[in-house]
Amino acid sequence: MARPTRTAMGCTARHSAPSERVIARLIRWSIDNRLLVLLTTVLFTAWGVVSLVRTPLDAIPDLSDVQVTIRTTFPGQAPQIVEHQVTHPLATTMLSVPGARAVRGYSMFGDSFVYVLFDDGTDLYWARSRVLEYLNQAQSRLPAQAKASLGPDATGVGWIYEYALVDRTGRVDLSQLRALQDWFFKYELKTVPNVAEVASVGGMVTALVLSMFVLPAACLIVRRMSHTSDM
């Protein structure tokens, strides 16, 4: 049983000999050309350091498409009416925007959202200017009560921070907290560089109601007569 064992070991040695010879030649060549090997190592090391410094790193890379959002408010209207009178006219108009790859429309109660997706590499601000141009053309096809506007120049990946205003003393109600958010914190946070939008959610929005009273006709006659007598 010793012969088969020696034969197997001999075959293994014969198969591994070419690879060992290649490695030996590579080592011998590297020793003979030490200067060239050192220069190549320094070159690749410098290239790696420069690439590491210049490569932009994001905690959450934004892999979303280049898109522009159009939000249209149509208060008090059902999704079917919003679809026929707002979403469909806007979506068909945006199909003609240069560079647009796809157009998606969503209709909700009182709101319409149209997303215009562009080809990769398209400049976002160029895309927004083209969408705004075609949006101005489509305004005449929308109802008078519908108000269309462009969304922020950012995607959902840019949602970086969320906070809440809480009154633990119980002295401030929800409307006052919302007013503090809308008239103070919102504008202060918008001054931070690279902040595209500050969205307010919750609370009670303060509304101003103006009531007009019709004066009696007798009062108008008296005032007119007194004014005539003064002249």
Region of poorest pLDDT, from 29-43, 62-76, 98-112? 62-76
pLDDT, tens only, 86-104? 999 999 999 989 988 999 9
Residues near 83 by beta carbon (within 8 Å), at least 6 away in sequence: 105, 107, 112
Nearest to 94 by CA among 118, 125, 59: 118
Nearest 5°: CA angle at 45, between 41 and 47? 120
User: With DSSP H G I counted as helix, E B as strand and the rest as coil, what are the percentages for the chain, rounded to 5?
Assistant: 50, 15, 35
Nearest to 70 by CA among 122, 120, 139: 139
Specify the pLDDT at position 7. 45
pLDDT, tens only, 107-149? 988 899 999 999 888 888 999 999 999 998 888 888 888 888 8
pLDDT bracket for residue 203 (50, 70, 90): confident
Is the pLDDT score of 18 beyond 90?
Answer: no
Best CATH choice for the domain 66-157 from the list 3.30.470.20, 3.30.1540.20, 3.30.70.1430, 3.50.50.60: 3.30.70.1430
Q: Residue 138: count other Cβ atoms within 10 Å of its Cβ.
A: 19
Is the pLDDT score of 79 beyond 60?
Answer: yes
Specify the pLDDT at position 40. 92
Strand order in the sheet with 100-108: 100-108, 111-118, 66-73, 147-150
Packing angle, helices 34-54 and 2-32, rounded to 10: 80
Q: What 3-state class would DSSP assign to 105?
A: strand
How much is the mean pLDDT over the chain? 80
Provide the token pair at 73.
Answer: 């408010």
Domain-wise residue ranges, the chain = 2-54, 66-157
**Contact present, 112 and 72 (Cβ < 8 Å):** yes
pLDDT, tens only, 188-199? 988 888 787 888
pLDDT bracket for residue 16 (50, 70, 90): low
CA distance 113 to 102: 14
E-strand ranges in the chain read: 66-73, 100-108, 111-118, 147-150
CA distance 163 to 3: 80
